[in-house]
Structure 1
Amino acid sequence: MNVPPPPPYPPPRGSRKVVFAVVAGLLLAAAVAVNGLLFFGMAFAGDSCGTSAGTARFCDSSGAWMLVAMFGPTVTLAAAVITVVLGAVQVRRPWTALALGVLVYATGPALALFTVFG
């Protein structure tokens, strides 16, 4: 007697939450690492302001753009975490919220790099 194998069943709902938590945790760890590298780089980016290598936007006398470049990625990381948490808990669309959170976070490093390299 040849009995066909049972049809594949979707994974239990609990495992989807675990996969989401692992992916979100890995993305958060990568974002924290990128923020650390950017913060370290921005701490020394002002050294070129007295030379021709410094950009006019970054090296203005007020220092406002330097603060935007240094703290912008951290602010957008906090906004991205809030977006993901609210999207996953309130709206119950965790993967959409995660994608939106990645886009929200990406604006911070992009703004920092644009400010320095303009």
Structure 2
Amino acid sequence: MSLPPSPYPPPYGPGFPPPHPSPSSGGPLRVVFAVVAGLLLAAAVAVNGLLSFGMLFASDSCGTSAGTARFCDDSGGWMLVALFGPWVALAAAVVTVVLGAVQARRPWTALAVGVLVYAAGPALALFTVFG
């Protein structure tokens, strides 16, 4: 009768290597990053929604002296910039954050750059309307 092999390594030799956490296993920092990025995305969508609603009525002052010459010209190009600029900036910010977090492996730096990229859109829209 023979005994089954021992489940433990023998006391000599290198033994089993210690388990290492896999880099893709996530962790608390990745969860915090995802929550912060999600909250910032929700806030940006809310701001863009309010700006879009406001831009629908921004051309009402074009018949008065309160309208800016840039926004109230007949070409309509600046109205499109004011209406769609924040949404384009939000899309560019999302791409910046995703590429920076995945390829460069620097999620917090990418998030900061994404916030700056996004802030350019509403700033351009407000500058276009209020000049």
| TM-score > 0.5 by shorter chain | yes
Q: CA RMSD in A?
A: 1.1
Does 2:97 correspond to 1:88? no
Give the TM-score taking structure 2 as reference length.
0.80
Unaligned runs of 5+ in 2: 1-24
What's the % identity of the aligned pairs?
Answer: 84
- Partner AA of 1:51 in structure 2: T
- Partner AA of 1:61 in structure 2: D
Paired residues, number: 107
TM superposition outliers: structure 1 runs of 4+ over 3 Å: none
Does 2:92 correspond to 1:79? yes
Does 2:80 correspond to 1:49? no
C-alpha displacement of 1:53: 0.7
Distance 1:52 1:63 in 2: 18
Distance 1:21 1:102 in 2: 14
Does 2:128 correspond to 1:111? no
Give the TM-score taking structure 1 as reference length.
0.89
Bigger Rg, structure 1 or 2: 2
C-alpha displacement of 1:13: 5.5
Where does residue 67 of structure 1 map in the other structure?
Answer: 80
Mapping for residues 1-20 of structure 1, pairs under 5 Å = 14-20=27-33
Where does residue 101 of structure 1 map in the other structure?
Answer: 114
Which structure has greater helix proportion? 1
